[in-house]
């Protein structure tokens, strides 16, 4: 009876009749304890619900915030080109946007995965993802096979062995950091015991192979890596020292600098031969860009210049050459494009003065280079992209500028259809398709020039084109001449990137050495070579390679021994 009374779930009103005082007291205590426990359980559940409500509210707020950030990022992303940014700033901005977008999408996916399941809605079409570029075939593949532990059929009352009918393959890109290793050269010593018994010492040993740095510990691969890191990846020597130290290798920056200096000196004959090759073309691009050079006497830097020359963009053979100069005066291109006055025996000794069509902007420093009285076989071809920029600067305030941009855009669109043509075909196509557009634009610019006041910005933009119209349309007379000078501007871009990392060149000699290395490396890239593979092989072969066959090592003729 007492067990029944103390069971709260089975307790009925008639069970309370006839209870003794002791039993009633015990029952009341049990009831009070049960009620108290229910109150405590209810309080705990209430707190859990409140916490869950706060978590949901916080998660919803965070999802809303992340969604807003993603929307704003995409708006910035597609509106960045209209902002007042330089090309380098815009590239850094785009990189940051991509990083932030991936970060926010990952956070949003994690938050949405933690939400409680909702009522299934109508299935949505899967979002189209950009097709990922296939991983290069030449990369080493490490295969990981994944098979079920049990390949017996799991169907009830079956259990028979299953047959492999196919496979799915996914690939992930991985990397192993740079590996240092040591070339251990062992030179055996051979002695004649017979002659030794007769008192004649005769020892035979293979002579040491010539190295790019005699007595140094750096092999050609490490020297090439140092140069590529410095002049392609724009890493100063002190950063390279820190990176190498992570692999347990001590390479003081002084050692790295001396290795680069020795390699630069060894590549001078190759650089001179490369200059002869670049200047043997009938169409030449030219441009210049400032770099800072340390002036120890003044305790600050001063402005120097890199002059760049490249074979025509439409030339079948590619090459670019850089010259480090202390100024921007016309004497520098005049001297470089003139007959070389090298020391006796140098490769530059018999280099003739260059002649042909020079693609450049309208900077006055090129006027003496193109002086017809001195150089009758040189012709100027000015850059259409520079003329376009004059109007582009005014596109927000001038209807004439908008129309000029539109007309030049039509010309570029038609010019793009000539890719793959040879010079004769391109010339015929230009005469038929773009020459009428240029003629119409010439007439339109003359009419608009009469309508605008002198001295204004739009007047200056129009004059920039009209005053050099013959040179601006030179490409209509020669199918080998490109429409603009963008090709050489792309070759100058590595210098613009490098000067942000280097800050300055340490000396005039350092600037000249940088010009040598970057001329060869950038030309190797233009010819489709991997820069480190090219430089490593050249540095390996230079010490024993005859000067009479130095052209074999030029970027446009080099063949990768590994292939």
47-61, 195-209, 263-277 — which is least confidently predicted? 47-61
Who has greater pLDDT, 524 or 509? 524
Average pLDDT estimate for 457-481? 94
Average pLDDT estimate for 495-507? 69
Please determine, for residue 9, whether its predicted confidence score (pLDDT) is greater than 70: no
Q: What's the Cα-to-Cα distance from 250 to each of 93, 189, 218, 219, 237, rounded to whole Å?
A: 36, 32, 12, 15, 12
Tell me what pLDDT residue 496 has: 81
Query: Which has the closest alpha carbon to 527: 495, 560, 549, 550?
Result: 560
Tell me what pLDDT residue 214 has: 76
- Using pLDDT thresholds of 50, 70 and 90, give the confidence band for residue 403: very high
Residues in contact with 206: Cβ distance below 8 Å, sequence separation at least 6, in sequence order: 187, 188
Who has greater pLDDT, 285 or 31? 285
Q: What's the Cα-to-Cα distance from 59 to each of 47, 69, 73, rounded to whole Å?
A: 18, 15, 21
Q: State pLDDT tens for residues 37-96.
A: 888 888 888 888 888 777 777 777 777 777 777 776 666 655 544 444 555 555 555 555
Q: CA 399 to CA 440: how far, in whole Å?
A: 18
Q: State pLDDT tens for residues 97-127.
A: 565 666 666 777 777 776 666 555 556 565 5
Average pLDDT estimate for 117-146? 72
Query: Which has the closest alpha carbon to 338: 275, 380, 428?
Result: 275
124-133, 255-264, 280-289 — which is least confidently predicted? 124-133
Tell me what pLDDT residue 127 has: 58
Contact 258, 227 (CB under 8 A): no
Q: CA 124 to CA 110: how far, in whole Å?
A: 20
**At which residue do the structure tokens 């090219």 appear?**
534
Query: Which has the closest alpha carbon to 505: 329, 287, 342, 264?
Result: 264
Cβ-based neighbour number of residue 219 at 10 Å: 18
Q: CA 388 to CA 386: how far, in whole Å?
A: 5
**At which residue do the structure tokens 């950063």 appear?**
239
238-252, 297-311, 470-484, 503-517 — which is least confidently predicted? 503-517
Who has greater pLDDT, 295 or 257? 257
Q: State pLDDT tens for residues 424-440.
A: 999 999 999 999 999 99
Who has greater pLDDT, 350 or 545? 545
Hey, which of 126-135, 194-203, 230-239, 480-489 has the most confident mean pLDDT? 480-489
């Amino acid at each position: 009876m007492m067990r029944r009374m103390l069971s709260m779930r089975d307790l009925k009103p008639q069970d309370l009749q006839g209870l003794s005082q002791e039993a009633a007291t015990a029952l009341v205590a049990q009831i009070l304890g049960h009620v108290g426990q229910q109150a405590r359980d209810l309080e705990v559940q209430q707190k859990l619900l409140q916490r869950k409500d706060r978590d949901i509210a916080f998660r919803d707020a965070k999802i809303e915030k992340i969604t807003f950030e993603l929307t704003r990022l995409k708006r910035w992303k597609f509106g960045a080109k209209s902002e007042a940014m330089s090309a380098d700033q815009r590239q850094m901005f785009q990189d940051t946007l991509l990083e932030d977008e991936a970060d926010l999408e990952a956070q949003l996916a994690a938050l949405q995965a933690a939400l409680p399941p909702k009522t299934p809605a109508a299935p949505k079409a899967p979002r189209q993802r950009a097709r990922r570029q296939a991983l290069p075939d030449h990369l080493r593949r490490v295969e990981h096979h994944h098979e079920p532990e049990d390949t017996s059929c799991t169907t009830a009352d079956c259990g028979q062995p299953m047959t492999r009918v196919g496979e799915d393959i996914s690939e992930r890109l991985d990397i192993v950091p740079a590996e240092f290793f040591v070339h251990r050269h062992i030179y055996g010593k051979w002695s004649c015991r017979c002659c030794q018994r007769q008192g004649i010492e005769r020892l035979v040993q293979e002579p040491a192979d010539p190295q790019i740095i005699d007595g140094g510990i750096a092999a050609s691969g490490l020297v090439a890596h140092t140069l590529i890191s410095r002049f392609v990846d724009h890493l100063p020597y002190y950063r390279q020292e820190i990176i190498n130290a992570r692999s347990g290798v001590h390479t003081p920056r002084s050692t790295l600098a001396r290795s680069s200096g020795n390699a630069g000196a060894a590549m001078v004959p190759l650089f001179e031969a490369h200059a002869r090759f670049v200047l043997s073309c009938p169409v030449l691009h030219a441009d210049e860009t400032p770099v800072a050079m340390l002036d120890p006497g003044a305790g600050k830097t001063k402005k120097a210049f890199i002059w760049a020359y490249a074979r025509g963009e439409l030339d079948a053979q590619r090459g670019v050459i850089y010259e480090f100069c202390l100024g921007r005066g016309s004497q520098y291109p005049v001297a470089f494009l003139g007959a070389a006055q090298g020391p006796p025996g140098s490769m530059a000794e018999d280099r003739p003065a260059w002649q042909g069509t020079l693609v450049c902007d309208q900077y006055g420093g090129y006027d003496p280079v193109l002086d017809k009285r001195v150089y009758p076989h040189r012709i100027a071809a000015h850059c259409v992209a520079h003329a376009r920029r004059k109007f582009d600067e005014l596109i927000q305030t001038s209807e004439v500028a908008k129309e000029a941009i539109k007309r030049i855009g039509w010309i570029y669109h038609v010019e793009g259809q000539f890719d793959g043509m040879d010079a004769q075909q391109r010339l015929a196509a230009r005469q038929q398709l773009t020459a009428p557009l240029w003629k119409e634009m010439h007439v339109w610019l003359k009419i608009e020039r009469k309508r605008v006041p002198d001295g204004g910005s739009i007047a200056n933009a129009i004059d920039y084109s009209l005053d050099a119209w013959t040179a601006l349309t030179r490409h209509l007379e020669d199918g080998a001449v490109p429409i603009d000078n963008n090709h050489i501007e792309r070759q100058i871009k590595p210098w613009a990137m490098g000067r942000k990392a280097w800050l300055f060149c340490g000396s005039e000699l350092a600037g000249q050495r940088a010009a040598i290395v970057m001329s060869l490396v950038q030309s190797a890239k233009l010819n489709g070579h991997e820069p480190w593979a090219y430089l490593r092989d050249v540095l390996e072969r230079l010490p024993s390679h005859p000067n009479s066959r130095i052209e074999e090592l030029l970027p446009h003729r080099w063949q990768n021994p590994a292939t």
